[in-house]
């Protein structure tokens, strides 16, 4: 199952997140094995950031994809305070060294910050011309921030917006998601299990049991059923990874989606963008 960036390039609909991965040396071998097995299972979009573990997650990802770079769609993010032309160049080059690659496939501004968007766009485009990144986008941008980006020279070159989106956090459906769809930008949905909080919801557990699913599979399958949504599921366990990947083969029916709408209603009005 694939999704398309704004430019039309296909990417996996279900990817792997790496927040908090790489911090524990005792877990390193399992974390690397999990990323590698995820690529084997089709979860070949791997998402990281310079912020995660102060670069340790990027280092771990680099080790995990060594020898398999051509199989992976690699996403990383730059701090907002590093979004000026010179600082972004330095940040990107540091990320490339940690990742042990020549190019990042999709480089995101982690959240809106103090650097003017026109300068940030110019910095992204300079990195593209230098061959250090292939595409760029943003993360944690609400509708107002996206509109500001679109007004900046070259801002419509963004390829995606990565935001918090799951059954328990559906606020983007009111205005941001329709705005993005009109312009062909996919939503990259991070924390599809709401950092595990969804798995403790009795209603989701009951739904999953009734339909022969695990709660995590139900939550991920719901995201995969949303048009133009790429789900980024983080796990450091091969057992949980396999369970997550199984959601690709268990699409939800229209009736099941309606049932989840009753359990987790869509927003009734504008909602501030949720972030973790």
Which residues participate in catalysis according to the annotation? 52
- The shares of helix, strand and coil residues in the chain, as percent rounded to the nearest 5, are 50, 15, 35
Tokens coding 10: 């296909």
How does strand 14-17 pair with strand 10-12?
Answer: unpaired
Three-class secondary structure of residue 73 per DSSP: strand
Strand partners, 133: 104
Tokens coding 194: 């709401």
Strand partners, 75: 47, 106
Interhelix angle 215-224/202-210, nearest 10 degrees: 80
The answer to whether the CB of 48 falls within 8 A of the CB of 18 is: yes
Site of tokens 């983080």: 234
Distance CA 143, CA 127 (A): 26
The answer to whether the CB of 92 falls within 8 A of the CB of 127 is: yes
């Amino acid at each position: 199952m694939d999704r398309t960036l704004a430019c039309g390039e296909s990417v996996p609909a279900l990817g792997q997140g790496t927040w908090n991965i790489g911090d524990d040396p005792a877990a390193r071998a399992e974390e690397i094995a999990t990323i590698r097995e995820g690529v084997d299972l089709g979860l070949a979009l791997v998402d990281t950031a310079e912020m995660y573990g102060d670069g340790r997650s990027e280092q771990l990802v680099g080790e995990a994809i060594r020898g398999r770079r051509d199989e992976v769609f690699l996403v990383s993010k730059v701090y907002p305070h590093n979004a000026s032309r010179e600082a972004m160049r330095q940040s990107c080059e540091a990320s490339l060294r940690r990742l042990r690659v020549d190019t990042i496939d999709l480089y995101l501004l982690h959240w809106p910050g103090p650097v003017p968007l026109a300068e940030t766009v110019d910095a992204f485009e300079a990195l593209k011309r230098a061959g250090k990144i292939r595409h760029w986008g943003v993360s944690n941008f609400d509708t107002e921030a996206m509109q500001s980006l679109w007004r900046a020279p070259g801002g419509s070159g963004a390829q995606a917006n990565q935001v918090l989106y799951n059954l328990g956090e559906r606020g983007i459906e009111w205005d941001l998601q329709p705005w993005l769809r009109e312009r062909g930008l996919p939503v990259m949905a991070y924390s599809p299990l709401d950092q595990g909080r969804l798995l403790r919801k009795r209603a989701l557990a009951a739904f999953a049991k009734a339909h022969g699913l695990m709660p995590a599979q139900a939550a991920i399958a719901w995201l995969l059923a949303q048009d133009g949504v790429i789900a980024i599921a983080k796990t450091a366990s091969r057992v949980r990874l396999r369970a997550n990947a199984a959601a690709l083969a268990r699409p939800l029916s229209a009736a099941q989606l309606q049932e989840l709408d009753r359990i987790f209603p869509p927003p009734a009005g504008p909602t501030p963008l949720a972030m973790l």
